[in-house]
Chain A
Amino acid sequence: MSVSVMVPTLLRPLTDGQKKVDAQGETVRHIIDHLDSRYPGIKARLVHEDEVHRFVNIYVNDDDIRFAAGLATRTAPGDKLTVLPAVAGG
């Protein structure tokens, strides 16, 4: 089984318009690498110098990976990975 990835609107041009795609991998880093091999360019939109971009939040199921092990956060088959842009402050 694979992990399903919910793609935010702004990244959908890279996934041929798909809102939800499947990817393989045991950590978030692997999932993103796998996504990038199928949808080139997506990694650069999410990761910079091996850190999640400051204005991007990534959740495994409902858990923010910044509050877990970051890109090394483990994923299991059937998990849902959600990417949400977020900016602090008003």
Chain B
Amino acid sequence: MSRLLDDASLSWRSGPCLPAWQSLSAALQRQGDCLGLRHADGAADGPALLLTHPDLQPLQTRFAGLPALPLELSSEFTLQATCGLMSVHGRASGRLQALGVNYLATLNAALAWQGCLAAAVGQLRGGHFRDVTLQPAAGALLSIGQYLAGATAPEDAEHLLPGSDDALARPPFLSADGLLFELETLDSLPWRRFWNALGISDALAGKAWQRFLLRYARAVAPMPAECLDALASLPLARIQAIASDSGVALVPVRDPAQRRADLDYPASAAAPWQLQRGPVGKPASAAAPAQRPLQGIRVLESCRRIQGPLAGHLLALLGAEVIRLEPPGGDPLRNMPPCADGCSVRFDALNHLKDVREVDIKSAAGRAEIHELCRDADVFLHNWAPGKAAELRLDAADLHATRPSLVHAYAGGWGDAAVSAPGTDFTVQAWSGVASRIAAASGTRGGTLFTALDVLGGVISAQGICAALLDRELHGHGSQVHSSLLGAADLLLDTGSGETAPALLQGLFRTADGVLALDCQTRQQHQALARLLGGNADACSLEVQLARQGTAHWVDACLAAGIPASTAHEDLALLGADPRLAPSLAHRAYRSVQSPWSFR
């Protein structure tokens, strides 16, 4: 039950590989396989993706660069540098640096498929969508949209630069026997008990708690040295026992090979979603979508934090009407500073396109209201803790009784893995091998405090929902579709999603006024760089020559010479001042990211 689109009539052709970014093409192909689509090799000059079906006009999806940031000279490395990922990852990893995984390839392949599937839904509902364009740079900016909002808030803006925090003082933690592990709890009481049992004072445990809580928002988490030393003096088995007694979850940092040996891995690696078809049902035809393909689709979203709300945001960018169900008094994340116009900018970045309805889902009246709202809804999306939907009688079977054609979507943490810990970004990074892989690439002992999996999980969830909507249009039934952070992690590390070939010369270099990202992948590019530098591109010449001019000069010169290069932004507050990125950013009270898609 892993294939989302088990329809022999649906097939796709892939276009030529992007010259500087082959992992993006590989990820596109891998995800097409995951979706269950028949693949045929495409024409040499075709679009990146051509979807065909007897009931569809052929649908073309292309990648596009920004006007001054050509796609053929963009790579995973240069886009991570210029779109702020390296900056956010660098906050707690010691320096400005890449994640070391094909993050933007996986993310943008998912966004490309999502746009394509949404356009197919739009076409089947009477719209005229034939061409989809995705800008990977905008996809990259979307992934750090919350951090960008925090850094550009009009008041109390966060100013967190790479290397500003001690890379050895952040989670994951280290035991006396040299084992790395994550701790997780969503409540201060177990945390306090845990540290007290280790002999740490309340005052210090409280300081550690504040920093621990804020690591999701700020991507830094400097733990007090006393806490780290207390753990480093005990073997893991003892720490595990104390954690267990205290009610704190402990998850070991495992390597990818350990993850691949898990019983649940093969199914998760085959596809990051699970689709189960529900009752027969197709909504009555409504007005055809005109500008964006999901216009007329109504989504009910009952989600907290990042993964689920981001999925809802992407569906809203595709034109869906998204109604956010919030508890009475509103989502407490609305209050998280920094704020503008009475709302957390971080929250606003993910939720400003949605309508809000306050509903007490714990009350009978609230649940009745949700059933009522479902009568006109196409999608119900939640990210509640496992088992809660059934407990509330808001599971797929319950809501399908009200609305047979509903796509009931769950953006969860662990999928089918039997892990007894909250499924959060950092516990899943640890368990899946993502933390280990990023640590090896970054020269640190942990993964990234950039919420990489929450973001990718949100994209994967929205992609699964679009596939389920297409399945509904083609076959006329509701469904439930599950995705998880762990499924997103498995996809990220999937070798079929493209191993990065070693570049001839890849790195970050100081210029007269900033940092330049260079990614020479061919001998010709390397020779062109040598010519730019006066004949030699060895390490010494690079350092001396590049420091003589500003970054903008070198980016212009490199791109003109056919060398993949970009500005490596250290300070997110300056992203908005980069004319190359300006087309993808909008002015709200803070810098907000535009839709990465356009449709014709």
* A67 near B185: Cβ-Cβ < 8 Å: no
| A20 vs chain B, min Cβ distance (A) | 13
Q: A85-B336, A90-B425 are in contact. Are A63 and B214 (CB under 8 A)?
A: no
Main secondary structure of the interface of B (DSSP, over half): helix
Query: Does residue B371 face the partner (Cβ distance < 8 Å to A)?
Result: no
Query: Does residue B6 face the partner (Cβ distance < 8 Å to A)?
Result: no
**Count of B interface residues, CB-CB < 8 Å:** 36
Count of A-B contacts with CB under 8 A? 80
| A53 vs chain B, min Cβ distance (A) | 8
Give the CA-CA distance A50 to B187 in the complex, in Å: 18
* A86 near B216: Cβ-Cβ < 8 Å: no
Query: Does residue B305 face the partner (Cβ distance < 8 Å to A)?
Result: yes
* B214 near A86: Cβ-Cβ < 8 Å: yes
* B306 near A68: Cβ-Cβ < 8 Å: no
Query: Does residue B206 face the partner (Cβ distance < 8 Å to A)?
Result: yes
B187's nearest neighbour on chain A, judged by CB, is A88
Give the CA-CA distance A21 to B454 in the complex, in Å: 38
* A89 near B206: Cβ-Cβ < 8 Å: no
* B332 near A55: Cβ-Cβ < 8 Å: yes
* B216 near A66: Cβ-Cβ < 8 Å: no
Cβ of B210: which chain A residues have Cβ within 8 Å of it? Answer: 57, 59, 64, 84, 86
Query: Does residue A77 face the partner (Cβ distance < 8 Å to B)?
Result: no
Query: Does residue B192 face the partner (Cβ distance < 8 Å to A)?
Result: yes
Query: Does residue B186 face the partner (Cβ distance < 8 Å to A)?
Result: yes
Give the CA-CA distance A79 to B333 in the complex, in Å: 27
| A69 vs chain B, min Cβ distance (A) | 10
Cβ of B214: which chain A residues have Cβ within 8 Å of it? Answer: 86
* A9 near B206: Cβ-Cβ < 8 Å: no
* B335 near A88: Cβ-Cβ < 8 Å: no
Cβ of B305: which chain A residues have Cβ within 8 Å of it? Answer: 87, 89-90
Count chain B CB atoms within 10 A of each CB in A59, A64, A67, A86 and give the residue with the most. Answer: A67
* B209 near A64: Cβ-Cβ < 8 Å: yes
Query: Does residue A8 face the partner (Cβ distance < 8 Å to B)?
Result: yes
Q: Closest 8 interchain pairs by CB?
A: A67-B206, A55-B332, A90-B216, A85-B335, A64-B206, A9-B339, A88-B186, A67-B202
- Residues of A at under 8 Å CB distance from B? 8-10, 13, 54-55, 57, 59, 62-64, 66-68, 84-90
Task: List 19 interface pairs A-B (beta carbons < 8 Å), by A numbering.
Answer: A9-B156, A9-B335, A9-B338, A9-B339, A10-B342, A54-B332, A55-B335, A63-B207, A66-B189, A84-B337, A86-B210, A86-B214, A87-B213, A87-B333, A88-B213, A89-B216, A89-B424, A90-B426, A90-B454
- Residues of B at under 8 Å CB distance from A? 155-156, 185-189, 192, 202-203, 205-207, 209-210, 213-214, 216, 304-306, 332-339, 342, 422, 424-426, 451, 454
